[in-house]
Structure 1
Amino acid sequence: MGCKVTCTKFWQIVKVLKSLDAPEGVCIIPIGAQGSGKSTLGRRLKVALGDVDVISPDAIRMRLYKKAHPEEERVDYGKVWDWLTETGKHELVRKLTKERFAKSVARFVYIDQMNLTRRSRRPFLLTDRFKIAVYFHLDEETLLERHRRRFDKAAHIPETAVLVNHRKAEEPTEEEGFDLIINYYVDEHKRSLLSKCYTVKKGVSDVQKSIEILEFAMKMELEARDFYRESGDRVARDDVRRLLSRLAEWEESHHRFLKEQRDRLKSSAGWDASAIPLDESEARDILERPWKGRGVEPPLSEEASDFSVIRMALGMETDFRNFYLKAAANVNDPDGKAVLTKLADWEGEHQKIIDEQYRQLHQDFMAQMGFAPF
Structure 2
Amino acid sequence: MEKELNVIKFAMSMELEGESFYSNYSKSVKNPGAKDLFEQLTKMEEAHYKYLKAQYDNLSNGKQVDKPVSDFESPELFNKRMEQQGTASSSFETSTSDITLLRMAYLIENDFMDFYKKAAENVDDAGVKNLFLSLAEWEKGHREALEKQYKEIFESNWYNMGFYPF
- Is the shorter-chain TM-score for this pair beyond 0.5, marking a shared fold? yes
- 5+ unaligned residues in a row in structure 2: which ranges? none
Deviations 1:219-253 (A, max 9, x none): 11111111111111111111110111111111011
Q: Which has the larger radius of gyration?
A: 1
Contact 1:236 1:303 in 2 (8 A): yes
1:356 aligned to 2:151? no
Match of 1:265 among 59, 62, 74: 59
Deviations 1:100-153 (A, max 9, x none): xxxxxxxxxxxxxxxxxxxxxxxxxxxxxxxxxxxxxxxxxxxxxxxxxxxxxx
Deviations 1:7-66 (A, max 9, x none): xxxxxxxxxxxxxxxxxxxxxxxxxxxxxxxxxxxxxxxxxxxxxxxxxxxxxxxxxxxx
Q: How far apart are the structure 2 equivalents of 1:292 and 1:327?
A: 34
CA displacement at 1:293 relative to structure 2: 7.3
CA displacement at 1:279 relative to structure 2: 2.9
More strand by share: 1
CA displacement at 1:278 relative to structure 2: 1.6
In structure 2, the CA distance between the partners of 1:320 and 1:302, relative to structure 1 (3 Å rule), is same
Provide the residue aligned with 2:81 in structure 1. Answer: 286
CA displacement at 1:273 relative to structure 2: 2.0
Provide the residue aligned with 1:310 in structure 2. Answer: 102
CA displacement at 1:265 relative to structure 2: 0.3
Provide the residue aligned with 2:159 in structure 1. Answer: 367
Which residue identity lines up with residue 99 of structure 2 in the other structure? F
- 5+ unaligned residues in a row in structure 1: which ranges? 1-206
Q: Greater relative contact order (Cα 8 A, min sep 6): structure 1 or 2?
A: 2
Provide the residue aligned with 1:29 in structure 2. Answer: none
CA displacement at 1:345 relative to structure 2: 0.7
Q: How far apart are the structure 2 equivalents of 1:286 and 1:292?
A: 9
Deviations 1:52-100 (A, max 9, x none): xxxxxxxxxxxxxxxxxxxxxxxxxxxxxxxxxxxxxxxxxxxxxxxxx
Q: Percent identity?
A: 31
Structure 1 runs (4+) greater than 4 angstroms displaced: none
Provide the residue aligned with 1:230 in structure 2. Answer: 24
CA displacement at 1:274 relative to structure 2: 4.2
More helix by share: 2
Contact 1:286 1:353 in 2 (8 A): no
Matches within 5 A, 1:180-195: none
Provide the residue aligned with 2:122 in structure 1. Answer: 330
In structure 2, the CA distance between the partners of 1:349 and 1:304, relative to structure 1 (3 Å rule), is same
1:210 aligned to 2:4? yes
Match of 2:138 among 346, 349, 370: 346
| Paired positions, count | 165
Provide the TM-score with structure 1 as the length reference. 0.42
Provide the TM-score with structure 2 as the length reference. 0.92
Provide the residue aligned with 1:247 in structure 2. Answer: 41
What RMSD, in angstroms, separates the aligned Cα atoms of the two structures?
Answer: 1.7
Q: How far apart are the structure 1 equivalents of 2:43 and 2:35?
A: 13
Matches within 5 A, 1:1-374: 207-280=1-74, 281-286=76-81, 289-292=83-86, 294=88, 298-372=90-164, 374=166
